[in-house]
Amino acid sequence: MHLKSVVKYLFKWITIALVVGILSGLASGLFLFSLEFVTNFRELNKWIIWLLPFGGFLIGYGYYIYGKEVVKGNNLILEEYSKPQKTIPFKMMPLVLVGTLITHLFGGSAGREGTAVQMGATIADQFTKWFSLDNEDRKVILICGISAGFASVFGTPLAGAIFAIEVLFFSRINYKSIFPSFLVAYVAYFTVEFLPIHHTHYSIPFVPSITLETFFWALLVGIPFGLAAMLFSRSTHWWGKIFSKYINYPPLRPFVGGIIITVAVFLMGTTKFIGLGIPTIVNSFETEQLAYVFLLKILFTGFTLGAGFKGGEVTPLFFIGATLGSFLSLYVPLPTALLAGMGFVAVFSGATHTPIACTVMGMELFGIECGLFIGIACLVSYLFSGMTGIYTTQIIGGVKGNLYKKFKKSTFENL
């Protein structure tokens, strides 16, 4: 590559990364601030949960009338990356933002990553026309959008940059995307850091030495983390199929789902399993959880998203992994906080097929000293989570893809 081409390349992508990063960071900042507000309002006014069915109808009606082209959410982004068709409509951003806030305000169980990623990708893709980008460059800019959204909403720029690349890895990513992905992640991250927004901090106070015994336990616990990821992904898709099969009118699906969730919450007498569940995640690092906690979060979140409510899957995956790891500490001779941290990222790894990004995320959140334990758990979870993930249009290849093609009739495939 000639010097002139290098300079042109750097100027173009630095400019795009700065603009996309700042705009995505500001969007994520607004989203995080609004999300904290509606969550606090719901917890102080629990009567509002009775309005969840009507909030669900509003979300369903909005997408039915105005958002049929963008209702696929993250899967639309993956589709546009694999087979570019047309620029992602800008209306995806307000629809997913408002839909997610309504979901959390009235008591649905959902996350935030999906919203941030969709907003970041929507913002980024608008530059396709403005910069007259071809299909190859459009793929790079979609990666930038995913990277910026993920990095800014979780405060993990390295993991965000790698996640954007790894989640699309088997679609043959061009090496040109690496530099913009990392740059835009840090721009978006520091944009949020300048705002009065604070990310949740977690602590693993003690990490044991790696011995043959601790290595064995790290390998072993990765298996239930992977199976939990598989259960979450499959149950979410299953609920979606059930609602689509029996309720033809889309706005009625979250309305009916909202009625069931509301009744369940008040019968149980707790809001522990709705919303993000951050307090329970934090508590998992200190106190051993019971087995039903992660199972109920799988049920509530899968049902919420399957019914048509909006939000991400990742924070609920953090909840599921952290509480499962905390529960396993009752039987596994590793520290509770370490197992909670391992599960936190390992279940996410299995559900998104991104073990490298999740390992890096774990080190960013919990410290580099626990990296080996986290890396082992993420890799094993990835291998044991099956071929179904939270993104139905994601292409799974590499070692895992070959293994499951070869043993497609094995136990794991038929679970």
Domain boundary pick from 159, 193, 227: 193
Environment class of 415 (CB within 10 Å of its CB; exposed 0-12, middle 13-18, buried 19+): exposed
Number of structural domains found in the chain: 2
> Is 206 contained in some domain?
no
- Predicted pLDDT of residue 3: 77
Q: How far apart are CA 384 and CA 374, in angstroms?
A: 15
Instruction: Give 50-80 as a 3 state SS string.
Output: HHHHHHHHHHHHHHHHHCCCCCCCHHHHHHH
The average pLDDT across 115-136 equals: 91
Do 161 and 219 share a domain, yes or no? Answer: no
Whether the predicted pLDDT of 341 surpasses 90: yes
Instruction: Dihedral sign for Cα 132, 80, 346, 97, please.
Output: positive
Report residue 313 CA to chain centroid gap: 5
Instruction: Identify the domain containing residue 111 by its residue range.
Output: 3-193
Encoded amino acid at 210, one letter: I
- Predicted pLDDT of residue 410: 52
Do 188 and 62 share a domain, yes or no? Answer: yes
> Is 175 contained in some domain?
yes
> Is 412 contained in some domain?
no
List pLDDT tens digits, range 62-109: 999 999 999 999 999 999 988 888 899 999 999 999 999 999 999 999
Domain boundary pick from 160, 193, 226: 193
Domain harbouring 357, CATH code = 1.10.3080.10
> Is 163 contained in some domain?
yes
Angle between helices 135-154 and 113-125 (to 10 degrees): 140
> Is 35 contained in some domain?
yes
Q: How far apart are CA 181 and CA 150, in angstroms?
A: 11
Do 263 and 130 share a domain, yes or no? Answer: no
- Predicted pLDDT of residue 134: 86
Nearest to 183 by CA among 158, 165, 204: 158
Q: How far apart are CA 326 and CA 240, in angstroms?
A: 29
Look up residue 177 and give its DSSP letter: G
Do 297 and 378 share a domain, yes or no? Answer: yes
Do 56 and 166 share a domain, yes or no? Answer: yes
Do 101 and 223 share a domain, yes or no? Answer: no
- Predicted pLDDT of residue 403: 60
On whether the CB atoms of residues 77 and 92 are closer than 8 A, the answer is no
Higher pLDDT, 404 or 336: 336
- Predicted pLDDT of residue 404: 62
Nearest to 35 by CA among 95, 94, 92, 115: 115
List pLDDT tens digits, range 193-237: 999 988 888 989 999 999 999 999 999 999 999 999 999 999 999
List pLDDT tens digits, range 353-379: 999 999 999 999 999 999 999 999 999
Do 241 and 378 share a domain, yes or no? Answer: yes
Q: Which of 161-165, 174-178, 279-283 has the lowest mean pLDDT?
A: 174-178
Residues in contact with 269: Cβ distance below 8 Å, sequence separation at least 6, in sequence order: none
Do 363 and 400 share a domain, yes or no? Answer: yes
Q: How far apart are CA 187 and CA 145, in angstroms?
A: 12
To the nearest whole number, what is the mean pLDDT of the chain? 91
Do 222 and 95 share a domain, yes or no? Answer: no
Whether the predicted pLDDT of 406 surpasses 80: no
Do 227 and 186 share a domain, yes or no? Answer: no
- Predicted pLDDT of residue 173: 59
> Is 151 contained in some domain?
yes
> Is 413 contained in some domain?
no
Whether the predicted pLDDT of 307 surpasses 60: yes
Do 223 and 188 share a domain, yes or no? Answer: no
Do 364 and 240 share a domain, yes or no? Answer: yes
Q: Which of 11-15, 191-195, 240-244, 390-394 has the lowest mean pLDDT?
A: 390-394
Domain boundary pick from 130, 164, 193: 193
List pLDDT tens digits, range 178-196: 899 999 999 999 999 999 9
> Is 198 contained in some domain?
no
- Predicted pLDDT of residue 412: 46
Distance (Å) of CA 326 to CA 126, 184, 286, 375, 376? 43, 35, 8, 18, 17
* Angle (nearest 5°) at CA 39 between 37 and 40: 65
**How many helices (H) does the chain have, and how many strands (E)?**
18, 0
Whether the predicted pLDDT of 318 surpasses 90: yes
Q: How far apart are CA 109 and CA 298, in angstroms?
A: 9
